Each structure stands twice: as structure tokens, then as C-alpha cells.
Chains A and B, each alone.
Chain A
Amino acid sequence: MNVKEIKAPRVAYGETLVALGEETHSIVVLDADLAHATTTNLFGEKFPERFFNMGIAEQNLMGVASGLSLAGFVPFASTFAIFGSGRAFEQVRNTICYPKLNVKIGVTHAGVTVGEDGGSHQAIEDISLMRSIPNMTVVVPADAVETAKAVRAAAAYDGPVYLRIARPPAPVFIGEDSEFVIGKANVLREGKDICLCAAGLMVFKAMEAAEVLQASGIEATVVNFHTIKPIDKQLLLELAQKIDKMITVEEHSVIGGLGSAVAEVLSECRLATVKRIGVEDKFGQSGTPDQLLEAYGLTSANIVATAKAMLT
């Protein structure tokens, strides 16, 4: 694995919005008093006339984004994952997804790596909520480079997209030249013994785990499921033909996220056993991101242990 730098995915979000804003006048950005945290302030400073702060009012945020989309613009509505998916759930469902409006919901501060703010602010059920809405696409980029690709792909896609972006600085390991197509997962590493399906910051952990497993003589495939919905069903079925043991890894509840999506597909073919690694139906808490990842089992060591247990 080639780690080029350490960078927060959310910074790549703000930077890419600025780049898109320069390329096309149809891009508008909205926030709900979190512009410095989501980094949409970068866009606001550059294009003040196309930046709309809605104040601490996420329900209105989603409705106003819908209106701007009806006026022909491509709005990116930003806030924290907990508010974008939870506080405004029904607005996202009825005002954005029901009429399939071209609104992008770019949320940061997802999962337990929110850290010190604690469980009230750590969305661990947002993928599940967003995935259940018809017409919604759910994208979870793995690092800063992939975040930039995901933002561009979302802007080019016609319809609602939920972009779930991580807060903390994290290793950048996805290649600048790697392909990013919504709905097509990327195989990062091939191995015959076990398949690790990961999303978001957990892709890097899965790659680390694969290296450790290799030292024990276990060959692991690692797949980056940057799109949770639509899930890459074709790739999953192809993989399951070759490898009958799979582990899903995500910084999200084991209920309703990537693990569920994978299990839903594979339960119809009975080709593989699926183990889900994620937050075990618990709320988060205060701590450093690394302490919390450790406490909730979101580590390469836990992936290694789970893989070894499945293979013995």
C-alpha cells in the first residue's frame, strides 16, 4: 500500500466543491451553520452569491435545496451526518427522493471517528436510513482522493446522492488514476482464501489486515465498496463463486449498512458465509477516534482475528 499523505476527507470535499464551482455556474452550496466543519466555507468564500447558509435548521436546508434544484441548479446541502440523515429524514424522503430531485446531500462527521463530541453526534445508522429510501444513491468514499472523485461523480449524476464523508485526517492511499463509477465497487487486492468488503475509512484497515494475513499465509481479496447503494451485485456474485467466506467492515451499525447490503445479495445465492464487522447495535461515546475504533472493534487486528476464526 502506498500512503501518499495524511488528509481529512472533509477537506477534499470543500476543495472539490470550489473546483466544481469554477467549472460550472450551476453548482450551489448550502450549509446549516457548520460550514467551517464541513469545509463548505471554502466555497462560500470563493462564491458568496452561490453559497446559502440556512442557520441551524436542517429541515429547511433540505427543502431549500429542493427548490434550488427545481430552479435548475445542482445543490450540495451540507451538514453533519447525524442531522442530514436523521433530523431531516422525512424532508429528504418526501421533498428530495420522492420526486427524484437532483440534490446532493454532502455530510461529514459520520461514524465514531467524530470522536470527542460523543455518541449524540456520531451517526452510526445513517447509511441504513438513507439506503432504505427509493431513488437514493449512497456513496461512502475511502479517503481524500476518493472523496474528490465521489463529489465529481455525484455532481455528474442526475438524482439524489447521499455522500458520507469522514471527519479525521486519514491515510491517502487510493490512486489518483483509479476509476470511480457510482455502483461499481473496486477490487484493490486479490486473494483466494477470504474476501474483505469494506467502505469508508475501513477500506484502509482492511488493506492493513490483508497484509498481516498474508504474513500468516492467508490470501485475502479486498474490495472497496464506495457505493453502498446501488450495491455492486454482479461483482459480489462473481466473488462469491470463487470465495465462500466474506467479511464486511464499516464504521456504521451492523444493522442496515454495508454488511446488510452484502448479506441481502448473498442470502439469495447461498454461495458464501458473511461475517459483519461494525458497531454492534450500540451508541458511540466520547474519546479519540483511535480509542473509539479500538473500542468498537473497527481495527485491522479485529479483521485479522475474525478472518482467522472463519478459516479454522
Chain B
Amino acid sequence: MEPIEQEDLVKLNQAIRRDIVQMIGIAKSGHPGGSLSCVEILSVLYFRIMNIDPKNPKGEARDRFILSKGHAAPALYSVLAHRGFFPMEELLTLRKFGSRLQGHPDMKKTPGIDASTGSLGQGLSISVGLALGSRLSGKGYQVYTLVGDGEIQEGQFWEASMAAAHYKLSKLTLVLDYNGLQIDGKNEEVMSFGNIRNKLESFGFEVFEVDGHSLEQLEAAFKSTVKDRPKCIIAHTHKGQGVSFMKDQVGWHGKAPNDEEVARALSELEGF
């Protein structure tokens, strides 16, 4: 892996946030809120943690990443481009007809995408299959899955959680982007989870709770070892993190910024 200094990673995160705002602004559609909330999670994974090679994106022993919250695709595309999977210029083709960068991740079109996702609640199941495959093949790669908080309302997520614990999938890491908001409002108003940590623990995960915008806390949680059970990192985040007028605002879940809003957001992100 190409080493990256902490200071550079902070700068990189700002660049990723600029990409997200610009991409969605030019596409005139997309999901800025949940893309901005998971930037640190993705950059730590792709620049500090995962064993991957952009020159060999299909290498059989590589670690896998499944973006179950597929609407955060702009964040992942930016990270993949910065990591060298495809040219940076391509980012501005997001959601355009003929683009390799579809509205939601498409493994058949985009280099570096490990599974096609977007329909919520399905990514953890794919990851369970990959983690079983990691063990059965003897390759031993790690499997990381990022889920949104809203999507764990899907029953399939809990089916997959049961299976991950039942099969003692210690190569599997679930990251929960816990920003508290979903399209129709706050999680607790739309459909409350109760005590999410207790639920995940009782389903068999070893749970870590971190500030999802802290590079140090995320890295430490990713590097902590677990035995005979899957890991879950509850990452407390802010929707729209980094852009003052989008932060914690549910209205920015799935709305594109206009030109003026793009300019305002970029000026905030430049000044970091």
C-alpha cells in the first residue's frame, strides 16, 4: 500500500468532499448528505487498512469492500479515483448516460467496485458469502461492509447478522454510518432502533464505537482483532459533514446543490 501521512489524509478528505459536492452538482442529482458522512471511513479503509492493488483490481486475495449504502457512491468513486483505480477526470461523468460511474455502484462497469449494490439491506449478505469464501478458499482476505443506519430497518440485514455470527466470521467487519438521519427524517421518528449497540451485540458482533470522523479512532477500531465473531464498528457521524449548510440537515439526503450552493460549499472546503 502507498503510505500516506495523517496530515495528507486530512487534506485528502477535504479533496474528496470537494469532489462529492462538484460531482453531484454537475450531475444535478445524487445523495450529498450520506456521501459526506462516510468520507473518513472510506479513506481510512482505502489508504490505511485494505490490502488492494489498483493495478490488479480483481486480484483474488485482495480485501473486499461492499458499499451496502450504495447511494453514497460519489464518496467511494472519489476515493477509488484518488487511490488510482481510474482517472480523476472521470468523476465528473457521474450519473451521465454512458458513464462508468452509475448512480449506484455497478461492479460490471467501475474498476474497484467489488459488488453491485444500491438496494438497501443487501450488502451484509453479500459480505457474509465473501467471508465464507475467504475461509473456504484459504485466502483469508478481509471483508468490509458499510451500511447506513436507515437501511438496518430492512429485515435482511438482521438475517445476515445472524448468519455472520453463526458462522463465526471474524474476517468480516461491519461499519455502521450512524448519522441519525434518513430520507423521511430522524431514524428515531421514522422507525426507532432502540439501543442499537445492544442489538448488534446480542446478534453476536464484537462492537466498537468511534467518532466516525476521527481518523485515529477509526484506524484503531479497524486494527483491533476479534476472535470467532464478526466485528462491528458503530461510527458516529454527521450527515453532510464538512459543509455547514448541509450538516445534520435531512433535506440534503438526496438533493443536488445548485451552482451557488456548490460554490459556497467549495469555498468552505477550500479554507480548511
Q: What is the interface of chain A, defined by CB distance below 8 A to chain B? A: 28, 49-50, 52, 54-55, 57, 59-60, 62-73, 75, 90-91, 94-95, 98-100
Most chain B CB inside 10 Å of its own CB: which residue of A28, A52, A67: A67
Other-chain residue from B108, B134, B159 in contact with A71 (beta carbon distance below 8 A): B134
Stretch from B160-168, B209-217, B245-253 contacting the other chain: B160-168
Instruction: Count contacts between A and B, CB distance < 8 Å.
Output: 108
Q: Is the CB of B163 within 8 A of A64?
A: yes
Q: Which of B115, B132, B134 contacts A64 (CB 8 A)?
A: B132
Stretch in B19-27, B31-39, B120-128, B257-265 touching the partner: B120-128
Main secondary structure of the interface of A (DSSP, over half): helix
Number of interface residues of B (CB under 8 A): 33
Query: Could you tell me the distance in whole angstroms from the C-beta of A27 to the nearest C-beta in chain B?
Result: 11
Partner of B133, one of A71, A95, A98: A71
The 9 closest A-B pairs by CB, nearest first: A67-B129, A71-B133, A63-B125, A60-B159, A57-B159, A64-B129, A99-B116, A67-B130, A59-B156
Q: Does B114 contact A (CB under 8 A)?
A: yes
C-alpha gap A62/B114 in the complex (Å): 17
Shortest CB–CB separation between residue B106 and chain A, in angstroms? Answer: 7
Selected from B64, B115, B133, the residue in CB contact (under 8 A) with A99 is B115
Contacting pair A70 B114 (CB below 8 A): yes
**In chain B, what residue has the closest Cβ to A88?**
B156
Residues in A neighbouring B124, C-beta threshold 8 A: 63
Q: Is A70 in contact with B125, judged by CB distance below 8 angstroms?
A: no
Task: Tell me the B residues contacting A by CB distance below 8 Å.
Answer: 60, 64, 106-108, 114-116, 118-119, 122-134, 136-137, 155-156, 159-160, 162-163, 166-167
Q: Residue of A at shortest CB range from B139? A: A71
In the assembled complex, which residues on chain B have CB atoms less than 8 Å from the CB atom of A54? Answer: 159, 163
Report the bound CA distance from A71 to B167 in whole Å: 16
Please give, as numbers and ranges, the residues of chain B lying within 8 Å of A73 by CB-CB distance: 133, 136-137
Can you report 18 A-B residue pairs in the complex whose CB atoms are below 8 A from each other? A49-B136, A50-B136, A52-B132, A60-B163, A63-B160, A64-B126, A64-B128, A64-B132, A66-B129, A67-B126, A67-B128, A70-B115, A71-B133, A71-B134, A73-B133, A73-B137, A75-B129, A99-B115
Say whether, besides A52-B132, A71-B133, A66 and B126 are in contact (CB < 8 Å).
Answer: yes
User: Of all chain A residues, which has the CB nearest B161?
Assistant: A60
Neighbour of A91 across the interface among B118, B122, B128, CB < 8 A: B122
- A90 and B137 CA atoms in complex are apart in Å by 28
Q: Which residues of B contact A49 (CB under 8 A)?
A: 136
- Docked-complex contact B162 and A95, CB < 8 angstroms: no
Write out the residue numbers on chain B whose beta carbons fall within 8 Å of the beta carbon of A70: 64, 114-115, 126, 129-130, 133
Assess whether A99 is in contact with B107, with CB atoms less than 8 Å apart: yes
The 8 Å CB contact of A95, one of B108, B114, B125, B132, is B125
Say whether A66 contacts B125, CB under 8 Å.
yes
- For A98, give its contact among B116, B125, B126, B130 (CB under 8 Å): B116
Contacting residues, chain B, for A59 (C-beta < 8 A):
122, 125, 155-156, 159
| Residue in contact with B128 in the complex, picked from A28, A60, A69, A99, CB distance below 8 Å | A60
Is there an interface contact between B127 and A67, defined as CB atoms closer than 8 Å?
A: yes
Question: Chain B residues near A66 (CB, 8 Å)?
Answer: 115, 125-126, 129
CB distance from B89 to the nearest CB of A (A): 26
Q: A94-B119, A98-B116 are in contact. Are A60 and B130 (CB under 8 A)?
A: no
Chain A minimum-CB-distance residue to B64: A70
Given A54-B163, A60-B163, are A71 and B126 also a contact pair (CB < 8 Å)? no
Are B129 and A63 in touch, CB under 8 angstroms? Answer: yes
A65 to B115, CA, bound (A): 13
Measured between beta carbons, the chain A residues less than 8 angstroms from B123 are 63
Residues of A within 8 A of B107 (CB): 99
What's the least CB distance linking A38 to chain B, in Å? 18
* A69 and B133 alpha carbons, distance in the complex (Å): 8
Chain A residues within 8 Å of B125, by CB: 59-60, 62-64, 66-67, 91, 95
Q: Which residues of A contact B116 (CB under 8 A)?
A: 94-95, 98-99
Residue numbers in A under 8 Å from B166 (CB-CB): 55
User: What CA separation (Å) do A55 and B126 show in the bound complex?
Assistant: 16
